[in-house]
Amino acid sequence: MKTTVSIIKADVGGFPGHATVHPELLKKANEELHAAKKKGDIKDYYVAACGDDLDLILSHDKGVDNEKIHKLAWDTFVACTEIAKKMKLYGAGQDLLADTFSGNVKGMGPGSAEIEFEERKSEPLLCFLMDKTEPGAFNLPIYKMFGDPFNTAGLVIDESMHAGFTFEVYDVMENKRVTLNTPEETYDLLALIGGKSRYVIKRIYPRGGSVPKEEAVACISTDKLSKIAGKYVGKDDPVAMVRCQSGLPAVGEVLEPWSFPHLVSGWMRGSHNGPLMPCSMEDATPSRFDGPPRVVALGFQVANGMLGIPFDFFKDKAYDRTRQKAMAVADYMRKHGPFEPHRLPSEDMEYTTLPAVLKKLESRFSKL
């Protein structure tokens, strides 16, 4: 029987402001999923948080886009929202953009990343949870894992990885997709995904090795909240999962790209470029200037549909230097105040609250 792992996430209220998820919400989510596991609706679960985002990691045998699983996640978010409203948590229910559930969380506010796979002899799976940024923040690290031999030694010295990988890329502005093969289409791929606010990596498929070609080995949530709501409603704080080892990038190769705190868009008011700081679950608590943007890495050894306990990778001291560098970059970027390139370029600001300010000035302009 195949195993499916689904990460479904939403911001249903921050504590305080947009900083973290209140312990009462985590408790409620755990209770709901515990009951679902007892009923046999899911095999296993883990409730995590990164910043103000509540991340439900679920394992089951129902495949991707399953209505029952999506409804379970939706109902859990609704139950947490009720508590958030009572406690007047900030932005209670902010990511639940629809009044009632209609079959799939896609297009309703929450983000999701899911993979269905035949479990190998051993199945190491890494889940990445981000806050204060957007799906394109995954482009650089995912490219490095699966496409860059300077990052992933296996691309050079493991024969089963020589065939390369297929990248499925979404154009989130035009709602289109394209697939590109590495290594031969690397330049075309980079031409697209370097434009990370528009082109985002959705899934990776293997072209050789023992994992079937139609089975995804990585999946990223690509949901665009502003596109759904028609206005700025916060950034689309994304999640992803990556399968590792035995012909896929090793755990250490999947972790290596995060040693560079690359610049991502998000941070304060979803309107600023800033460094992505890898951190432990405990430290996934944005503070300075509502940030800086964070990423958490939870490692699981999936076995017979069970997730088991996660290992909190970025707790490791090996990422201390990255965090220090991230803070040095944060200092440097902050010095720009309201100026680009700290503030996002004008095209990206269209999806924030800035256009309302510019509208106010429209009538004051006269022709040159």
Look at strands 294-302 and 277-278 and give their pairing: parallel
270 binds, among ligand F6R, Mg ion, none (CB under 5 to 8 A by kind): ligand F6R
Instruction: Give min distance, CB of 65 to ligand F6R, in A.
Output: 27
At 266, phi and psi to the nearest 5?
150, -115
310 prior amide bond cis, ω within 30:
no
Look at strands 239-243 and 263-266 and give their pairing: unpaired
- Please calculate the CA angle 46-13-238 and round it to the nearest 5 degrees: 55
Applying CB under 6 A, the span of 70-78, 203-211, 267-275, 298-306 interacting with ligand F6R comes to 267-275
Residues in 87-146 that interact with ligand F6R by CB under 6 A: 132
Of all residues in the shown chain, the one whose CB is closest to ligand F6R is: 290
Q: Exactly one of 110, 124, 234, 238 binds ligand F6R (CB under 6 A); which one?
A: 234
Q: Does residue 173 contact residue 198 with C-beta atoms inside 8 Å?
A: yes
Active site residue 170: no
Give the integer Cα–Cα distance in Å for 270 and 236.
9
| 342: number of Cβ within 10 Å | 20
Residues in 278-307 that interact with Mg ion by CB under 5 A: none
Active site residue 290: no
Q: Does residue 60 contact residue 69 with C-beta atoms inside 8 Å?
A: yes
Q: Does 28 bind Mg ion (CB under 5 A)?
A: no
The sign one gets for the Cα dihedral 114, 115, 116, 120 is negative
Residues in 281-300 that interact with ligand F6R by CB under 6 A: 290
Please say which residue, 36 or 54, places its beta carbon nearer to ligand F6R.
54
- Please calculate the CA angle 253-257-159 and round it to the nearest 5 degrees: 30
Active site residue 11: yes
Catalytic residue among 143, 205, 235, 319: 235
Q: Exactly one of 32, 44, 52, 256 binds Mg ion (CB under 5 A); which one?
A: 52
Residues that bind Mg ion (CB under 5 A): 11, 14, 18, 51-53, 91, 131, 237
* Contact residues: ligand F6R, CB under 6 A: 17-18, 132, 234-235, 266, 268-270, 290
Active site residues: 11, 232, 235
